């Protein structure tokens, strides 16, 4: 379970978030500058809320009242960026293995490299470098690397926005498959309301820091 109840003062408004997420997908939509990426960065520990608390699983990772603020690496979060952030000098396999948890830090989820490669259909790319694969393939590799961290929560910041429509459609289905298979909460930022309806169990609409949460059924 993910619990977020915090405020973050920004130059032109205050971001206010109060939401609970089970093992589901939360899709966040809103215009540029609404606070969507700031929300992700506060959860990841890359920015600090002004006040409030954040719980990931059973761990309190941030509390202004109790003065708790865990480092990003202590929060067990997989983060997928819009620009993929792959290491150009590493092969696909090396990029994915870079995220693999050491045995003493394992959560017990047991994400085998072979299983992740098979699920995301990128096994044939193991020996290639990022410059040798397409945008959709890079995004699959970035997702695989994030999964190998054995996360308690996945954060995806506009992961499909740079892809063509056919590739986006394919990856939307693969994201749904991955989330269902491993039962990890996902928080996905998107500008596309239709994409949010396809992916989200909940949709969080943000405008200048104000939130409106909608519980909904999946669009098939």
Quick check: 187 pLDDT over 80? yes
Return the minimum-mean-pLDDT range out of 42-51, 151-160, 162-171.
162-171
What's the rounded mean pLDDT across residues 35-40?
94
The secondary element (H helix, E strand) that includes residue 38 is helix 36-44
Could you state, in order of their start, the residue ranges of all structural domains in the chain? 2-215
Lookup: tokens for 142:
């970035």
Pick the CATH number of 2-215 from 1.20.200.10, 3.40.50.1000, 3.40.50.300, 3.40.1360.10: 3.40.50.300
Quote the CA–CA distance of 157 and 187 in Å, as a whole number.
Answer: 8
- Under 8 Å CB-to-CB from 48, ≥6 apart: which residues? 8, 42, 62, 69
Quote the CA–CA distance of 155 and 202 in Å, as a whole number.
Answer: 15
Q: Where would I find the beta strands (DSSP E) of the chain?
A: 2-9, 14-21, 25-29, 51-56, 59-63, 68-69, 77-80, 153-157, 186-190, 202-207, 210-215
What's the rounded mean pLDDT across residues 174-187?
93
Around Cβ 114, how many Cβ atoms within 10 Å? Answer: 8
**pTM assigned to the model:** 0.90
Quick check: 27 pLDDT over 50? yes
- Predicted local confidence at residue 101, as pLDDT: 58
- Predicted local confidence at residue 89, as pLDDT: 96
């Amino acid at each position: 379970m993910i619990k977020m109840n915090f405020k973050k003062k920004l130059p032109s408004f205050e971001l206010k978030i109060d939401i609970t997420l089970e093992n589901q997908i939360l899709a966040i939509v809103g215009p540029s500058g609404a606070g969507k990426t700031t929300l992700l960065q506060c959860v990841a520990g890359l920015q600090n809320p002004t006040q409030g608390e954040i719980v990931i699983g059973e761990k309190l990772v941030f509390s202004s009242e109790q003065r708790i603020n865990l480092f990003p690496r202590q929060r067990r979060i997989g983060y997928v960026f819009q620009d993929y952030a792959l290491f150009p000098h590493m092969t696909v396999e090396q990029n994915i293995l870079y995220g693999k948890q050491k045995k003493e830090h394992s959560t017990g989820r047991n994400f085998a490299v072979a299983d992740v490669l098979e699920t995301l259909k990128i096994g044939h790319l193991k020996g290639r470098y990022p410059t040798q694969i397409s945008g959709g393939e890079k995004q699959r590799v970035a997702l695989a690397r994030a999964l190998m961290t054995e996360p308690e929560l996945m954060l995806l910041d506009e992961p499909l926005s740079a892809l063509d429509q056919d590739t986006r459609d394919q990856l939307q289905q693969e994201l749904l498959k991955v989330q269902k298979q491993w039962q990890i909460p996902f928080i996905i930022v998107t500008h596309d309301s239709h994409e949010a309806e396809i992916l989200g169990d909940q949709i969080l609409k943000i405008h200048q820091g104000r939130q409106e949460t909608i519980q909904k059924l999946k669009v098939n």
